[in-house]
Amino acid sequence: MSSAISTQPRMQARRGAQAIVLISVILPPIALVTVMWLAWGSGFGLIDLAIFAGMYLACGLGITIGFHRYFTHKSFDCPRWVKIMLGVTGSMAVQGDLLWWCAVHRKHHQHSDSHEDPHSPHVGRGGRMRRFLYSHFGWLFRIEDPDKSRYVPDLMADPDLRMISRLFPLWVFISMAIPTILGGLLAGSWFGALTGFLWGGLVRVFFEHHVTWSVNSVCHIWGQQPYDSHDHSRNNALVGVLALGEGWHNNHHAFPTSARHGLAWWQFDASWLVIRLMSCVGMARNLKTPSRDRLARAGGADD
């Protein structure tokens, strides 16, 4: 009886988390259909495009530079205020709280394309399409909480990051409020607020989610493997551009602590360009990149 009672809160929390994931997966596509219908009736303009692009870049870079390259892989150092800014903007991408996101990603690297990988398209039951869909977003419905004390003890020791993680619902609300307010102010109408919410909020989340999820799925199936990373990670140029440099995934798995993922001159890496700009104005320092000798010994691309 006591064990059944003790597991009841966990089951309720799991159902609640599954409901949140379901909403985050289903609402953005509905919003996309809505804005397509509105656009057909001239409900789309430069203001909507600007809000969408601005929110996509701000929140996307919060994930790529903040959650991924800084918090997860420690590929550079930065002042405290930049750390907090990256934590907040990454949270506004609505991909989970900071500690959970980083723990999942570190687990992925430790067990890449093995049975303990949270989202590999090469393991599990079913055919290729089923495994692809699972690696793309199906794994989210399992709501497995990785052992944070094992994977992110350094991040958990930082009170700023614990606070940012606890306030995740607030950052989600703010990420929806900003485009709504901007749309209303710039268009001078309630309709502008609505389209700002749809384009800069839900539709932006839709595109940002699927681009990020494509790194887990597409970039472990299609692309080039210039380096032996002991897994199926691949460089995919299309995802590389859309995911602000994250699509050079084989490069990243070969050199996980590198702040630069597009290692060749022709591999466009928007996040790396921003990190370099940050370093020029004192927002980033001690940038880690593989040396030319190391790249040559690995037999891959050189810049």
Q: Are 175 and 196 in contact (CB under 8 A)?
A: no
| Total residue length of the chain | 303
The per-residue pLDDT for 180 is: 97
Gap between the Cα atoms of 272 and 288, Å rounded:
11
Least confident of 121-125, 174-178, 254-258: 121-125
> How many alpha carbons fall within 13 Å on the CB side of residue 256?
17
The per-residue pLDDT for 37 is: 67
Tokens of 295: 């790249």
- When pLDDT is cut at 50, 70 and 90, the band that residue 182 belongs to is very high
Which of 225, 234, 239, 241 is CA-nearest to residue 273? 241
Q: Are 189 and 43 in contact (CB under 8 A)?
A: no
Residue 116 has pLDDT above 80, yes or no: yes
- When pLDDT is cut at 50, 70 and 90, the band that residue 38 belongs to is low
Q: Which residues contact 45 (CB under 8 A, 6 or more apart)?
A: 187
The per-residue pLDDT for 10 is: 47
Residue 302 has pLDDT above 50, yes or no: no
The per-residue pLDDT for 9 is: 46
Gap between the Cα atoms of 3 and 239, Å rounded:
46
Gap between the Cα atoms of 302 and 251, Å rounded:
11
CB atoms within 10 A of CB 296: 11
The fraction of the chain above a pLDDT of 70, given in percent, is 85
Least confident of 90-99, 123-132, 240-249, 258-267: 123-132
The partner residues of 235 in beta bridges, in order of sequence, read 224, 248
Q: Are 175 and 28 in contact (CB under 8 A)?
A: no
Gap between the Cα atoms of 152 and 146, Å rounded:
10
288 phi, psi to nearest 5 deg: -95, 125
Mean pLDDT within 10-35: 60
Which of 287, 286, 281, 289 is CA-nearest to residue 81? 281
Gap between the Cα atoms of 152 and 8, Å rounded:
27
Model pLDDT for residues 46-56, shown as the tens digit of each residue: 999 999 999 99
- Could you tell me the residue ranges of all domains in the chain? 15-298
The per-residue pLDDT for 292 is: 84
- When pLDDT is cut at 50, 70 and 90, the band that residue 22 belongs to is low
Considering the chain, what is the average pLDDT of its residues?
88
Tokens of 79: 């002042």
Which of 279, 215, 269, 223 is CA-nearest to residue 245? 269
- When pLDDT is cut at 50, 70 and 90, the band that residue 297 belongs to is confident
| 45 vs 179, higher pLDDT | 179
Gap between the Cα atoms of 184 and 244, Å rounded:
28
Q: Which residues contact 298 (CB under 8 A, 6 or more apart)?
A: 227, 228, 254, 290
Residue 18 has pLDDT above 80, yes or no: no
Q: Which residues contact 131 (CB under 8 A, 6 or more apart)?
A: 120, 121, 122, 123, 124
Long-range pairs, 205-208, Cβ under 8 A, ≥24:
205/24, 205/28, 205/93, 205/94, 205/175, 206/28, 206/29, 206/31, 206/32, 207/56, 208/56, 208/59, 208/60, 208/63, 208/93, 208/94, 208/95
Least confident of 13-17, 67-71, 75-79, 270-274: 13-17
Residue found under tokens 């991040």:
155
Residue 146 has pLDDT above 60, yes or no: yes
